Amino acid sequence: MKLDGKAAFITGGGSGIGAETARVFTREGAAVTVVDLNAEATEALTMELTATNANIRSVVLDVTDEAAVTSALAESVEAFGSLDIVVNSAIRMAPGKLIDLSTADWKLLIEVGLHATFVVGREAAKLMIDQGTGGSIINLSSNAGLAPYPGAGAYSTAKAGVIMLSKQQAIEWAEYGIRSNAICPGHVETPLTAYLQDPEVRAGREAVTPLGRIGQPEDVAAAALYLASDDSSWVTAHALVVDGGIVASIYNHLPGRTWRS
């Protein structure tokens, strides 16, 4: 029970990586507030975990609503007595090449993927500082934040910003015992990656992944558990890549000698 006695707040927690993180956290003893805009998904997850006697509550809100976020964080502390862990995984997709991307789509993705991560982290840190017991902030970035993702310029830009934001939080809030880290997943099978259901796309992705498979939400949730727990008590300002080796394998795809048997 690595998180016994701790309370977590997870945005984008209704499905995909956020939902699996909620499952893992509750299984490890944490009390969890799940926040998501999708009421149906959030309710289904809450019912699922309540049936296992998990200590979970849910809030339906738009993470770009700063007043609603501040209120939800305060209510989580009131319900569970503390705020020890925050996971920012909310995102909205707006694919498109930069030359064609509308200003509205650009702003929406940056607002949800980067600005809301800043707001949730700022308001959570205030509560953690008042508690005087520190905490762990985990921000979901992407390997697309480490390398440009053609056709997803706003996404790559937001995710790159999340990495730097995490480092900035870590250094500014270290004196209060608050750690902040980013997780950079590769292609993970979630509702946002429905294209992986195409056998040809899936096979192609597996072929270029050094570990030979598509990632699953539990792969990322395990990384989040590590960063949330005391196992990582001396880890901060770090971007943990969970991508099966894709980002590091660029030389595998260049013409000429690959140094493989």
Q: Name the active-site residue from 155, 176, 195, 226.
A: 155
> If you ran DSSP here, which 8-state letter would residue 188 be given?
B
CB atoms within 10 A of CB 177: 16
3 state DSSP class of 259: coil
Angle in degrees, CA 217, 249, 213, rounded to 5 = 35
Q: Is 251 a catalytic residue?
A: no
One-character DSSP codes across 218-259: HHHHHHHHHHHSGGGTT--S-EEEESTTSGGGGGGGSSS---
CA distance 28 to 63: 26
Active site residues: 155
